[in-house]
Amino acid sequence: MNKPQRKKAGKKDLILLKAAAMFREKGFAATSMRDLAEAVGIEAASLYNHIRSKNEILETICFDVANRFHTHIEEIDSNHDHAIKKVETLLRFHIKQMIENFEEVHVADREWRHLEEPYLSNMQAQRRNYRKRIAAIIQDGINKKQIANIDASTSVLIMLHAISGIESWHRSKAKISAEELENNMIRLLIDGLRNSDNK
């Protein structure tokens, strides 16, 4: 079950953007609808003209992000043959999302546990299946001697945790450019996958 894509633009999109920023900064549980209304600049009661509840906001953020990543991995499987290229394309997408859409990606990654059923179980399954799909790409590369003989599932966890660390880049006062960050991370993560026979 995928959460329907949001259709209305304008005030609702502003509410979602402000909510993502507040959920990241304060956490979902500590953010009230009154806090959100003040951030948007409207009366708390007016929020309900655009959104049903705080839980619906979290559902929309989490499933919008999940749908974005699932759509991208489908495109990778269709457009690339070599496992290293697939993984590099995937990682670059993850890195760009963490740079360009940091608030909502962070919330989807950290606050999804506050979802209510049936969305909680659905999101948990989607996250698990997504990691399995990346691991399958890596394992296919191992089988084809394109990728070094490493544990695919562990590799996925290491790569995704490394990318989640981009949070510290956002906080840095002397950070390198987004382009440098992306290229440095790709070099570190991809070189560790390469089969030494193919370097």
CATH number for 154: 1.10.357.10
pLDDT at residue 199 is higher than 70: no
Average pLDDT for 33-43: 92
pLDDT band at 198 (very low <50, low <70, confident <90, very high): low
Q: Which domain holds residue 156?
A: 54-198
pLDDT at residue 96 is higher than 80: yes
β-bridge partners, 147 = 194
With respect to residue 42, please indicate whether it lies within any of the assigned structural domains: no
- pLDDT digit string, tens, across residues 104-163: 999 999 999 999 999 999 999 999 999 999 999 999 999 999 999 999 999 999 999 999
pLDDT at 192: 87
CA distance 120 to 46: 27
CA distance 160 to 184: 15
With respect to residue 20, please indicate whether it lies within any of the assigned structural domains: no
- Chain centroid offset of residue 4 CA: 18
The DSSP code sequence of 22-83 is HHHHH-TTT--HHHHHHHHTS-HHHHTTT-S-HHHHHHHHHHHHHHHHHHHHHHHHHH--SH
With respect to residue 159, please indicate whether it lies within any of the assigned structural domains: yes
With respect to residue 125, please indicate whether it lies within any of the assigned structural domains: yes
With respect to residue 142, please indicate whether it lies within any of the assigned structural domains: yes
pTM given for the model: 0.89
Cα atoms in the 13 Å half-sphere on the side-chain side of 123: 24
39: left (phi over 0), alpha (psi -120 to 50) or beta: alpha
Question: Containing H/E element for 112?
Answer: none
- pLDDT digit string, tens, across residues 44-82: 888 999 999 999 999 999 999 999 999 999 999 888 789
pLDDT at residue 7 is higher than 60: no
With respect to residue 88, please indicate whether it lies within any of the assigned structural domains: yes
Average pLDDT for 90-94: 98
Q: Which amino acid is at 163?
A: I
With respect to residue 15, please indicate whether it lies within any of the assigned structural domains: no
pLDDT at 117: 97
Q: For the chain, how many structural domains are there in total? A: 1
pLDDT at residue 93 is higher than 60: yes
Reference 161, options 109, 125, 196; nearest CA is 109
- pLDDT digit string, tens, across residues 164-181: 999 999 999 888 999 999
Average pLDDT for 1-8: 46
Q: Which amino acid is at 116?
A: E
pLDDT band at 85 (very low <50, low <70, confident <90, very high): very high
With respect to residue 16, please indicate whether it lies within any of the assigned structural domains: no
